[in-house]
Chain A
Amino acid sequence: MLNDWRTRLILIAFSGIILLFIVAPIAGLLLRTSPAEYSTTFQDSEVTSSIGLTLLASMGATIIFGILSVPLAYLLARKDFPFKGLINGIIDVPVVIPHSAAGIALLGVISRGTWVGQAGEAAGISFVGGVAGIVVAMAFVSLPFAINAARDGFAAVPEKLEKAALNLGASPARVFFSISLPLAKRSVISGLVMMWARGLSEFGAVIIIAYHPMITPILIWERFTSFGLSYARPVAAIFILVCLAIFITMRVLSGKRYHVRN
């Protein structure tokens, strides 16, 4: 079917439209920002500290919550237990609900009036209007990416390899760290990268919990509503470039695939 030139033309045209749909706005944004605007914005300490905060908060969310979610991903991939389908569904809830609603929901758990909020305050951690709140909000909306990718990665590891390792006398913990995790590594890292990237771009949930300190998506929004497009665009362009650079680097470094002999 693909040999038919008309079919090929349609396939190429449709693919081109979709790619253009993704690339054109971003390319337009980057190209319409002048070198002078880039230079000035780079020297704006509010912008650089906001980008630094966004990167670190998302990374913190990924390291703390993403890594904590690996055992759950493994359980979902390997074990059968009651309500497993329900749990899989629950994991996807943060993706399907409006993120401002997610922020409101989180506020109900971590605000100062709740025991979590009070416990945080007692430990010197302020969720509302604090970095910890940003981390929690970012983690809440981006965690499904990490769990789903890791679960699929573990499920793709042949169970036979784990059983072979057990048969060789290895403990279940050793099997997990020497066989399951290294073989699912690519998916786990890919999920963590996606979680981190999704956390970077979070706006709705974070603005409910912490307007300040200001993460970059909120800074872009604030500049747009207060000063207009020309002030928001350079910040957005620089933030996109930073995210793309880190995202591509991590993708490249996320490891190689192994051929499993069958």
Chain B
Amino acid sequence: MLEIKNINARLGDFRLRNISLELEPGDYLTVLGLSGAGKTVLLEVLAGLVKPETGEINLDGEDISNLKIQNRPFGLVYQDMALFPHMTVRKNITYALKGKGLSNQEQGNKTLELARLTRVEHLLDRHPGTLSGGEAQRVALARTLASNPKVLLLDEPLASLDVKLRQELRELLKKINQTGKTIIHVTHDPMEAATLSKKIAIIEKGELIQWGKPEEVFRNPVSEFVARFSGIKNIFPCTFEKTSEKNGLFHGLTKNKITISCLDDPGKDAAHLMIPGEDIIVSKERLETSAINQYKGIINEIYYLNHGVELIINVGEIFSVIVSKRSVEKLSLAPGEEVWLSFKASAVKIL
């Protein structure tokens, strides 16, 4: 079990503040955040490259905060791979196997095994400068796995790869994780996080904003940042009057004077309200339903996506709604068409 307790670190003007996390063996944690949020610094603190000012890192009950870099059971794969340019791929992978009491034969066998796992066996005699981005990424992974770390730290491993290579590496990472290896994977891509992780952590300006299972974080974002970063649209800053509660509903007023009703008490004068796009119903006429929130608007744009169609609808505020292609055809939806939007007060979440 990996416990990260109250890590504070400073790197120039940047500060990492009070980071605490807990991971079970075999967990796959994705650390999400914008560029400069502190994701890489967190990995460097764990790997021992950056010394924290305060805090503790415990692995399987042992405090490893003061262990030297070379003695930490963490294997870091850098975003730019950091392959040794003067060594062949084979020597890069074998590097971590030296000095571990293995015979040359055993080192060779292990190198070949890792090269097969990462599908780089045909590249063993090449130098890193001649490899493509995807090949170099797989070699870097094989090299780090050779050191047999208890925790694998990956810094944006898919960032520089094309769609096909991303998919291949994603599968490889899942395969490695299935062998029981704990992985901490840093990315700025919520999709990457959603498809790979058992847990995600969101970092903003050096602080851990939220962490948990992906579905929990994406369904219940604790802040506007988390929601927007998770790709969630339809977030509106609203003001609430003290007397806005009527019939068990609370009524928030958006900047453009649209009233949105919700079930939960915002508990303050201003809050961000969020409505998941899939909870919004689009119709040509006003519906007689239990949905309290109903607005007439105009379709601004229609985007055809892999998993449906996104409608951008102006009702005074701009809403994004996901519908099926069949619905678009059935309702003859097109830009400039007038439509009604409706959603229940229970679908409205307060951030």
Contacts and interface: CB of A to CB of B under 8 A. Distances in A.
Interface of A: 158, 160-161, 163-172, 174, 178-179, 182-183, 258-262
Nearest to A172: B70
Contacts of A164: 76, 78, 82, 84
A163 B49 contact: yes
B86 interface: yes
18 contacts: A163-B69, A164-B78, A166-B68, A166-B70, A167-B47, A167-B69, A167-B74, A169-B100, A170-B70, A170-B96, A174-B98, A174-B99, A179-B84, A182-B86, A259-B129, A261-B80, A261-B85, A261-B131
Given A163-B49, A164-B76, A261-B129, A171 B70 contact: yes
Contact of B143 (A168, A171, A258): A168
A261 B83 contact: yes
A169 B70 CA distance: 4
B70 A261 contact: no
**What's the interface size class on B, roughly?**
20 to 34
Contacts of A165: 84, 95
B227 interface: no
Contacts of A166: 68-70
Interface in B92-116: 95-96, 98-100
Interface string B123-139: 00001110100001000
Nearest to A164: B82
Interface in B186-202: none
A170 B68 CA distance: 11
Contact of B95 (A160, A168, A259): A168
| Chain A to chain B: the 4 pairs with minimum beta-carbon distance, closest first | A259-B129, A258-B85, A168-B96, A164-B82
A167 B84 contact: no
Interface in B169-197: none
B145 to A, nearest CB: 10
A164 B75 CA distance: 9
A259 B85 contact: yes
A179 to B, nearest CB: 6
B80 A262 contact: yes
Residue among B76, B82, B127, B147 facing the most chain A CB atoms (10 A cut-off) = B82
Given A160-B82, A161-B82, A183-B86, A167 B75 contact: yes
Contacts of A172: 70
Given A167-B47, A183-B85, A261-B128, 18 more contacts: A160-B80, A161-B82, A163-B49, A163-B69, A163-B82, A164-B76, A167-B49, A167-B74, A167-B75, A167-B147, A168-B146, A169-B70, A169-B71, A169-B99, A170-B70, A170-B99, A259-B129, A261-B81
B144 interface: yes
Contacts of A259: 85, 128-129
A149 B20 CA distance: 45
A182 B95 CA distance: 14
Given A163-B69, A258-B86, A258-B129, A168 B144 contact: yes
Nearest to A168: B96
A168 B147 contact: yes
Interface in B33-89: 47-49, 68-72, 74-76, 78, 80-86
A178 B69 CA distance: 17
B95 A158 contact: no
A168 B81 CA distance: 13
Nearest to A261: B128
Contacts of A161: 82, 84-85
A168 B77 CA distance: 10
A208 to B, nearest CB: 43
Nearest to A174: B99
Contacts of B131: 261
Residue among B84, B127, B128, B143 facing the most chain A CB atoms (10 A cut-off) = B84
B110 to A, nearest CB: 13
Residue among A167, A169, A172 facing the most chain B CB atoms (10 A cut-off) = A167
A163 B49 CA distance: 7
Contacts of A262: 80
Contacts of A174: 98-99
A5 B95 CA distance: 54
B96 A169 contact: yes
Contacts of A170: 70, 95-96, 98-99
Contacts of B99: 169-171, 174
Contacts of B71: 169
Contacts of A178: 95
Nearest to A171: B70
B73 to A, nearest CB: 10
